[in-house]
Chains A and B, each alone.
Chain A
Amino acid sequence: MPEAPLLSIEQAEKVFGGGRTLFGRMRPAVHAVQDVSLEVRRGETLGVVGESGCGKSTLARLIVGLDAPTGGRIVFDGRDLVAEAGKDLRRLSRDVQYVFQDPVASLNPRKTIRTILEAPLIHLLGLDRTARESRLSELMDAVNLAPEFLDRYPHEFSGGQAQRIGIARALAADPKLIVLDEPVSALDVSVQAQVLNILDGLKTRFGLTYVFISHDLSVVESVSDRVAVMYFGRIVEIGPARAVFGSPRHPYTHLLLQSAPAPGRRSLVSEDAETELPDPYNPPPGCAFYARCPRGTDMCNARQPPLDEVAGETAHRAACFHPHEGR
């Protein structure tokens, strides 16, 4: 009997816009996230990759309770996350935290680091002054920053240091799950490695579970146990990182991996120029990747391929009628 997952998302959906205007006209609606189901197990890192506009950040906001899904269920540790976030975000925020993409924009420019880090300690944990002091020094130590930085303002920090402060804030309430939304993409490459190594260390030290969202395939590959690939609001492939990166089944995953530049890789596979994302206001009836897919058939255009298990591999699923063969 496998352990119950820490987070399970069932057919989550988020629609922006929609509804009717005052005079009864339909407002255009965009399905940012559609029919997303996944599980995050205790202690693992689930990587979520996809290109801009694929809905990965919306998914992240649903998980931390900043946005409410318009459909589906999200269960965290046996609790209904959506209902809880609607009633009292604080209770959820004690367990689920978020690290933002832009480290400098996520810190209020007019507050000292101490004020920023104390906020979760006061509002989420209700610690008194002495308890806060010791927790603050613990946090600064955890992200490898000198304690005298506490009384400085965000603009005095470099991107990498600011992101470490962002991580410290997420850690402050001692959460179980941290959603990292592109945590290193705004950073320089040399700093990227520092932050990734710190995240790795914290995970083992505090027994954390990560949902790691990024557009950078190599970063996701290096941190993830399992990977979900998103395209146009849906998960097109999910499975163990080694399987998804080693033998991608969905043609989109295939294309992503072929397009990614890597040191020493001379030629990149590129498609024709006509390949575009479908119009989000007018989505195609079938597979969203159909227009770009070299393997597409009429069946793909007619209906949505289900996210089915790949033949021969248990944990590896792909939403494709004509998947690539395993290697």
Chain B
Amino acid sequence: MAEASTATAPAARPRKRSSGRPDNLGLLLNNRLATAGLAIFALIVLTALLAPLLPLPDPDVTAPADRLLRPLSEGHLLGTDALGRDILSRLVWGSRVSLAVGISATLIAAFFGSLIGLVAGYAGGRVDTLLMRGIDMVMAFPYILLALAIVAVLGPGLLNALYAIAVVNIPFFARNIRGIALGLSRREFVDAARLSGKSHAQILFIEVLPNVLPVIIITMSTTVGWMILETAGLSFLGLGAQPPQADLGSMLGDGRKILFTAPHVSIIPGLMIFALVMSINLIGDGVRDVLDPRLKSGALTRPVARTAVMRDHAPGKFLPSPGAVLDVRGLRTEFHFGREIFHAVGGVDMRLGQGECLGIVGESGSGKSVAAMSIMGLVPTPPGRITQGVALLDGEDLFSVSDERVRQLRGSAVSHVFQDPLSTLHPLFTIGDQLIEAIQAHQPLGKARATEKAAELLKLVRIPNPAERLKAYPHELSGGMRQRVCIAMALAGDARIIIADEPTTALDVTVQAQVLSLLDALRRENNTGILFITHDFGVVSAICDRVAVMYAGQFVETGTTAEILSSPAHPYTAKLIDCVPVLGQPERRLDAIEGRPPVVNDLPVGCRFAPRCPRAREDCRTGPIPLTRFGAGREVRCIHPLTREAADA
């Protein structure tokens, strides 16, 4: 998926972002519950703010003659309380007090809590231990007891209740912020700021703080409601607002004694507290969904189990090419974001024979991973969809078979090996468990037989002492060993094809050499075809029989490895080979490719490489360039190819 995300998030676009992605407020309003919360909250706040201007009677004036009037009585819309005071008026003024106390307590707690968290997280070591143990001590008291103790010392009163609630909530902020600050302080930009001459205080407040701010806001939005409840709680106990001042909690407390004779006196402030806190919590959830980077990155959208296939027209009957295990024709995969369509893969044909290794070479964003992931429907939908093409596995179109059939084939006939073995393996299960699971998913074997088979697989990938290693957890193995386990897992179901997506990029050179020679030996022994995705021509030379060079979603050149490396015909292939330093040729001048690949939602009409191509002429830009035959077993998407003569000259 790295491919797609780079393709879809091009930096520094030529034109100003006109994307269909809504901004933060738009996202918040998209959330219906949050919008409802926002509306209710806005109404309450507005009423509270306008309280002095509204035609309300004085909330503190008692009128014993009118005591305990029911709601909807004349002159008192919501009735009166035990002292004859107007409940509507007290409710509006009381909300005003509760809101003010709740919000200011939040601000105070956020300020001190964040400060402690920031300093602890950034400084680390002793300072961190000291501050956080102090916070732990505050947390060890039941919060209401602590609040009671503080009020007991300072005396009852609204302001003291506010302090108590703020203090009680400081640990919550401190803990949250410390975690984030700790992570940020180890980031490279903090080191860079130190080397730019900034002092620790400057780094903390100028570099780290802005990055923590969203988290502070999220935490605040989720605590305001809680704080209002706590204020009400203290006032209810008579420790907050003092009579005659109205406050939602004290109103509730007043009504408690006459709950059975005049329930409206307590129910009305209770409903108000409910509405207020509920609306704030709904907004808080909405704000978190919008601002939280983890949720932003798509955790809220649940991709379906298989890429959606939405082919405009039913493909005709395709006969697989003779000798091909996998035969992909005219594959197009797109990503739809709002109104924009990203053509990640724009018409790709690939054929893979038994025991053959086909390399797909391209830069990030060229669509090579998306093309490979499309075969087994592993491109996430939404936003991905396959809009054209067929993928024949032994003559069976993978895009039209049932979900159940795809599930059977995944990991058995076609399996995958990915770049990072540590994130592919589950950290909490032994590699034995994971291998046995992979075996049993496709073969009805008993536990003992499956364990035996797992050990055989480990032996197959040259892991010494396999029976013992089955008990190891992924973190106990080196990177190379882990990648071997992943390869063993890919072989668990007697794969016909392995799709290997940059399987050695994360490995050291000596380990890479081991893994490459292992893959090479396995495909010869087991006749497994390998679709090998990489950006490195050196790696391609070591393992691939044939190569397809990919640029902006299309193959620009295919042929045997030796031919393409010795005499590239497409200018892009030639440039791609020339821009990499080669071991043993230090004097070679590196020929950088000017410019950048096109954005796949805004492709040029003609040749996609034309804007960067030194050989481009007028006719390159007029229309799409077809992939044409160029000698035996070779195809090039170029109308002015570098011929052999030109390359030699």
Do A and B make up one complex?
A: yes
Interface locus among A133-141, A148-156, A298-306, A318-326: A148-156
> What residues on B are CB-neighbors of A265 within 8 Å?
538, 541-542
Residues in B186-214 with C-beta less than 8 Å from chain A: 187-189, 191-198, 202, 207, 210-211
Q: How far is the CA of A106 from the CA of B196 in the complex (A)?
A: 12
Chain A nearest CB from B589 CB (Å) reads 9
| Structural contact, B196 and A93, CB atoms closer than 8 A | yes
Task: Encode A142-166 as 1/0 by CB contact (under 8 A) with B.
Answer: 0000000100100111100110001
Residues in A180-200 with C-beta less than 8 Å from chain B: 188-194, 196-197
Q: Does B154 contact A (CB under 8 A)?
A: no
Decide: A149 near B12, CB < 8 A? Known: A194-B592, A260-B538: yes
Chain A nearest CB from B536 CB (Å) reads 7
Chain B nearest CB from A62 CB (Å) reads 13
Task: Encode B424-446 as 1/0 by CB contact (under 8 A) with A.
Answer: 00000000000000000000000
Decide: A263 near B592, CB < 8 A? Known: A105-B189, A106-B188, A107-B192: no
| Structural contact, A188 and B363, CB atoms closer than 8 A | yes
Q: How far is the CA of A110 from the CA of B540 in the complex (A)?
A: 40
Contact of A190 among B192, B481, B582, B592 (CB under 8 A): B592
Contact of B189 among A106, A268, A274 (CB under 8 A): A106
Contact of B579 among A93, A107, A108, A189 (CB under 8 A): A189
Q: Does A66 contact B (CB under 8 A)?
A: yes
Interface locus among B136-144, B257-265, B511-519: B511-519
> What residues on A are CB-neighbors of B585 within 8 Å?
222
| Structural contact, B580 and A261, CB atoms closer than 8 A | no
B578 closest partner in A (C-beta): A193
Q: Does B15 contact A (CB under 8 A)?
A: no
| Structural contact, B211 and A264, CB atoms closer than 8 A | no
> What residues on B are CB-neighbors of A111 within 8 Å?
207, 210
Task: Encode A65-102 as 1/0 by CB contact (under 8 A) with B.
Answer: 01000000000000000000000011001000110111
> What residues on A are CB-neighbors of B580 within 8 Å?
189, 192-193, 218, 263
Q: How far is the CA of A222 from the CA of B537 in the complex (A)?
A: 17
Q: Does A32 contact B (CB under 8 A)?
A: no
Q: Does A257 contact B (CB under 8 A)?
A: yes
| Structural contact, A119 and B583, CB atoms closer than 8 A | no
Chain A nearest CB from B200 CB (Å) reads 10
| Structural contact, B539 and A218, CB atoms closer than 8 A | no
> What residues on A are CB-neighbors of B210 within 8 Å?
108, 110-111
> What residues on A are CB-neighbors of B187 within 8 Å?
105
Decide: A268 near B542, CB < 8 A? Known: A93-B195, A123-B197, A193-B591: yes
> What residues on B are CB-neighbors of A93 within 8 Å?
194-197
Contact of A189 among B189, B535, B540 (CB under 8 A): B535
Interchain Cβ contacts within 8 Å, total number: 208
Contact of B192 among A169, A268, A269, A272 (CB under 8 A): A169
Task: Encode B511-553 as 1/0 by CB contact (under 8 A) with A.
Answer: 1111011100000000000000001111111100000000000
| Structural contact, A100 and B211, CB atoms closer than 8 A | no
Task: Encode A240-274 as 1/0 by CB contact (under 8 A) with B.
Answer: 01100100000000011111111111111111111
| Structural contact, A222 and B581, CB atoms closer than 8 A | yes
Contact of B211 among A110, A169, A191, A259 (CB under 8 A): A110
Decide: A259 near B590, CB < 8 A? Known: A188-B535, A193-B579: no
Q: How far is the CA of A258 from the CA of B566 in the complex (A)?
A: 21
Q: Does B565 contact A (CB under 8 A)?
A: yes
Residues in A35-80 with C-beta less than 8 Å from chain B: 51-52, 64, 66
Q: Does A215 contact B (CB under 8 A)?
A: yes
Q: Does A120 contact B (CB under 8 A)?
A: yes
**B11, B197, B363, B566, most chain A CB atoms within 10 A:** B197
Q: Does A109 contact B (CB under 8 A)?
A: yes
Q: Does B297 contact A (CB under 8 A)?
A: no
B463 closest partner in A (C-beta): A273
B484 closest partner in A (C-beta): A273
| Structural contact, B538 and A108, CB atoms closer than 8 A | no
**A122, A157, A265, A277, most chain B CB atoms within 10 A:** A265
Decide: A193 near B590, CB < 8 A? Known: A102-B188, A265-B538: yes
> What residues on A are CB-neighbors of B12 within 8 Å?
149, 152, 156-158, 161
Q: Does B132 contact A (CB under 8 A)?
A: no
> What residues on B are CB-neighbors of A291 within 8 Å?
none
> What residues on B are CB-neighbors of A128 within 8 Å?
none
| Structural contact, B537 and A259, CB atoms closer than 8 A | no
Decide: A119 near B198, CB < 8 A? Known: A108-B193, A189-B576, A263-B577: yes
Contact of B513 among A102, A191, A192, A259 (CB under 8 A): A259
Chain B nearest CB from A180 CB (Å) reads 13
Number of interface residues, chain B, beta carbon within 8 A? 66
Q: Does B18 contact A (CB under 8 A)?
A: no
A221 closest partner in B (C-beta): B586
> What residues on A are CB-neighbors of B10 within 8 Å?
158
Chain B nearest CB from A282 CB (Å) reads 15
B566 closest partner in A (C-beta): A264
Q: Does A219 contact B (CB under 8 A)?
A: yes
Counting chain A residues whose Cβ lies within 8 A of the other chain, the interface size class is: 35 or more
Chain A nearest CB from B104 CB (Å) reads 27
| Structural contact, B363 and A274, CB atoms closer than 8 A | no
Decide: A215 near B508, CB < 8 A? Known: A93-B197, A222-B586: yes
**B202, B481, B484, B542, most chain A CB atoms within 10 A:** B542
> What residues on A are CB-neighbors of B513 within 8 Å?
258-261, 268-271
A49 closest partner in B (C-beta): B509
| Structural contact, B588 and A222, CB atoms closer than 8 A | yes
Chain A nearest CB from B488 CB (Å) reads 12
> What residues on B are CB-neighbors of A192 within 8 Å?
579-580
Contact of B542 among A98, A101, A120, A267 (CB under 8 A): A267
| Structural contact, A270 and B514, CB atoms closer than 8 A | yes
Contact of B593 among A52, A89, A193, A275 (CB under 8 A): A193
B213 closest partner in A (C-beta): A110
Q: How far is the CA of A264 from the CA of B544 in the complex (A)?
A: 11
A259 closest partner in B (C-beta): B513
> What residues on A are CB-neighbors of B576 within 8 Å?
189-190
> What residues on B are CB-neighbors of A221 within 8 Å?
581, 583-584, 586
Chain A nearest CB from B597 CB (Å) reads 8
**B11, B193, B565, most chain A CB atoms within 10 A:** B11
| Structural contact, B591 and A98, CB atoms closer than 8 A | no
> What residues on B are CB-neighbors of A123 within 8 Å?
196-198, 202
| Structural contact, A263 and B537, CB atoms closer than 8 A | yes
Task: Encode B199-236 as 1/0 by CB contact (under 8 A) with A.
Answer: 00010000100110000000000000000000000000
> What residues on A are CB-neighbors of B583 within 8 Å?
217-218, 221, 245, 257, 260, 262
Decide: A189 near B363, CB < 8 A? Known: A256-B509, A263-B580, A268-B542: yes
Q: How far is the CA of A31 from the CA of B484 in the complex (A)?
A: 29
Q: How far is the CA of A273 from the CA of B592 in the complex (A)?
A: 37
Q: How far is the CA of A110 from the CA of B184 in the complex (A)?
A: 13
Q: Does A276 contact B (CB under 8 A)?
A: yes
What are 18 sample pairs from A and B whose C-beta atoms fall under 8 A apart? A97-B195, A101-B188, A116-B196, A120-B197, A161-B12, A173-B197, A189-B363, A189-B579, A190-B363, A192-B579, A196-B581, A217-B583, A218-B581, A257-B583, A260-B513, A260-B583, A263-B565, A268-B513
Which residues of A approach B to under 8 Å, CB–CB?
Answer: 51-52, 64, 66, 89-90, 93, 97-98, 100-102, 105-111, 116, 119-120, 122-124, 149, 152, 155-158, 161-162, 166, 169, 172-173, 188-194, 196-197, 215, 217-219, 221-222, 241-242, 245, 255-277
Known: A197-B590, A242-B586. 13 other contacts (CB 8 A): A64-B195, A93-B197, A105-B188, A107-B192, A123-B197, A124-B196, A193-B591, A217-B583, A222-B586, A259-B513, A263-B541, A263-B565, A273-B481
